[in-house]
């Protein structure tokens, strides 16, 4: 049984192991399992529901200490600082099934995949791929953000502070010790407050889908082959430390509430412009045949869902012409060409070789997180 399917069995209760954004029930200063990952994992069992409408998307900076919540000790969640890659996990002790989720990044014709099976335990990968690359995932928000690993033009290493803001991962950089909101991609406390990272495009999809579109892809190998800020560590990468969290109504480490227009853990992809923000729920896109043509503010977009439930959003203006997309099996069609869904690349016809521009800066995430960071958001298909 793979990690993703196991999540759906638990229902509204969930247990969180000593990893990820939460350690020992969120108590300040606590540390997760030791370097071997064999210590017993504390658990938190929750259930219940509550609603509210959003929070500030553009907060007063710097954040105060009271805005931040301690989920773990600094570096208790050990960021990967020396990643190692291979063609697959065939020689690893853990399994990487085709339906496991990965963050996919391209640089020219090269491709790399970063499994959530690793990121659930480490959250931050410091890589060099098309330049210094920062790959991040917050298990509590379900959000993936990739960016250039530079602060004021200087390459630096990012780690996990153990703090949370709006239930989201807060990182630190080793160069200035500033604190950074993962979803905002911005420093929220410290010397670089207000500085924004330069974001890089990425996709959350399945290992099978990513490898199907990028047969020569490399994939991140789990520690101890990949070293961390703590050196060699090991976790059980066949075990998900967030069992049941994605189906529960629990948000973060407790105390937060959510915009009640959708289930807080509904998967949405968001598109934001200067004029508007709109969330596209996976279920709604699937109900529309797996493809939606829309306009957000003045931006024409197409949103699509794959058979495995991956969501993508692209600008649908190509060479000055706004296209209308349809679905033909596992590809999109428009302008006389067929387009791959995960990569947005035209595989034939007059647009062959053209790649659509992504309309989203952040990965799909849980609804509560998108609504927190974009409290004025609309929901496609509602109202």
Measured distance CA(306)–CA(284) in Å, rounded: 13
Whether residue 120 is contained in a domain is answered as: yes
pLDDT at residue 39, as a whole number = 29
Q: Do 113 and 211 reside in the same domain of the chain?
A: yes
Whether residue 252 is contained in a domain is answered as: no
Beta partners for 120? none
pLDDT tens track for 199-234: 999 999 999 999 999 999 999 999 999 999 999 998
pLDDT at residue 21, as a whole number = 57
pLDDT at residue 208, as a whole number = 97
Of the three residues 178, 211, 235, the one that is the final residue of a domain is: 235
pLDDT tens track for 254-291: 767 789 999 999 999 999 998 899 999 999 999 999 99
SS3 (DSSP) at 163: strand
Whether residue 22 is contained in a domain is answered as: no
CATH code assigned at 279: 2.102.10.10
Q: Which residues of 267-277 are buried (b: 16+ CB within 10 A; e: fewer)?
A: bbbbbbeeebb
Ranges in the chain, pLDDT < 70: 1-57, 255, 383
The residue segments making up the domain with residue 361 are 267-379
Tracing tokens 């509602």 back to the chain, one arrives at: 382
Q: Do 299 and 370 reside in the same domain of the chain?
A: yes
Q: Do 275 and 211 reside in the same domain of the chain?
A: no
Whether residue 110 is contained in a domain is answered as: yes
Q: Do 275 and 229 reside in the same domain of the chain?
A: no
Number of domains in the chain: 2
Q: Do 62 and 107 reside in the same domain of the chain?
A: yes
Q: Do 190 and 55 reside in the same domain of the chain?
A: yes
Token pair for 295: 């306009």
Measured distance CA(228)–CA(83) in Å, rounded: 8
Q: Do 133 and 227 reside in the same domain of the chain?
A: yes
Task: Decide if 289 contacts 295 (C-beta within 8 A).
Answer: no
Alpha helices in 69-145 (DSSP H): 116-122
Whether residue 9 is contained in a domain is answered as: no
Whether residue 230 is contained in a domain is answered as: yes
Whether residue 200 is contained in a domain is answered as: yes
**E strand or H helix that includes residue 19:** none
pLDDT at residue 299, as a whole number = 97
Of the three residues 235, 258, 276, the one that is the final residue of a domain is: 235
Of the three residues 235, 255, 283, the one that is the final residue of a domain is: 235
The CA-based angle 332-335-341, given to 5 degrees, is 20
Q: Do 224 and 88 reside in the same domain of the chain?
A: yes
Q: Do 286 and 338 reside in the same domain of the chain?
A: yes
How many CB atoms lie under 10 A from the CB of residue 224?
15
Supply the pTM of this predicted model. Answer: 0.87
Q: Do 174 and 284 reside in the same domain of the chain?
A: no
Whether residue 335 is contained in a domain is answered as: yes
- Which distant-in-sequence residues (6+ apart) come within 8 Å of 171 by Cβ? 124, 136, 158, 159, 160, 161, 179, 180, 182
Rg (alpha carbons) of the chain, rounded to whole number: 20
pLDDT at residue 105, as a whole number = 97
pLDDT at residue 258, as a whole number = 84
Q: Do 230 and 272 reside in the same domain of the chain?
A: no
pLDDT at residue 23, as a whole number = 47
Q: Do 286 and 211 reside in the same domain of the chain?
A: no
């Amino acid at each position: 049984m793979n990690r993703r399917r196991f999540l759906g069995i638990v229902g509204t209760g969930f247990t969180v192991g000593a990893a990820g954004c939460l350690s020992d029930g969120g108590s300040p200063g606590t540390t997760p399992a030791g370097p071997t990952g064999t210590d017993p994992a504390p658990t938190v069992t929750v259930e219940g529901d509550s609603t509210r409408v959003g929070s500030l998307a553009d907060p007063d900076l710097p954040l105060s200490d009271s805005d931040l919540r301690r989920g773990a000790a600094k570096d208790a969640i050990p960021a990967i600082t020396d990643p190692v890659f291979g063609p697959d996990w065939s020689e690893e002790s853990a399994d990487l099934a085709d339906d496991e989720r990965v963050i996919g990044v391209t640089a020219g014709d090269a491709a790399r995949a970063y499994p959530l099976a690793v990121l659930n335990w480490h959250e931050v990968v410091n890589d060099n791929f098309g330049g210094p690359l920062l790959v991040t995932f917050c298990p509590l928000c379900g959000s993936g953000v990739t960016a250039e690993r530079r602060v004021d033009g200087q390459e630096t290493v990012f780690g996990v502070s153990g703090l949370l803001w709006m239930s989201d991962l807060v990182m630190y950089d080793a160069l200035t010790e500033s604190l950074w909101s993962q979803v905002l991609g911005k420093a929220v406390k410290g010397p670089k407050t207000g500085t924004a990272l330069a974001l890089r495009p990425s996709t959350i999809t399945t290992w099978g889908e990513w490898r199907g579109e990028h047969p020569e892809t490399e994939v991140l190998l789990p520690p101890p082959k990949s070293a961390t800020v703590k050196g060699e560590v090991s976790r059980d990468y066949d075990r998900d430390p967030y069992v049941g969290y994605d189906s529960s109504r629990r948000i973060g480490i407790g105390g937060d509430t959510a915009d009640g227009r959708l289930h807080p853990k509904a998967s949405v992809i968001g598109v934001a412009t200067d004029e508007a923000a709109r969330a596209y729920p996976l279920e709604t896109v699937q109900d529309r045949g797996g493809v939606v043509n829309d306009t957000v503010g003045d931006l024409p977009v197409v949103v699509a869902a794959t058979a495995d439930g991956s969501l993508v959003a692209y600008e649908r203006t190509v060479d000055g012409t706004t296209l209308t997309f349809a679905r033909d099996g596992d590809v999109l069609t428009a302008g006389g060409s067929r387009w791959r869904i995960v990569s947005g690349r035209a595989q034939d016809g007059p647009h062959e070789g053209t790649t659509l521009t992504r309309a989203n800066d952040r990965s799909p995430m849980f609804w509560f997180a998108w609504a927190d960071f974009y409290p004025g958001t609309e929901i496609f298909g509602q109202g």
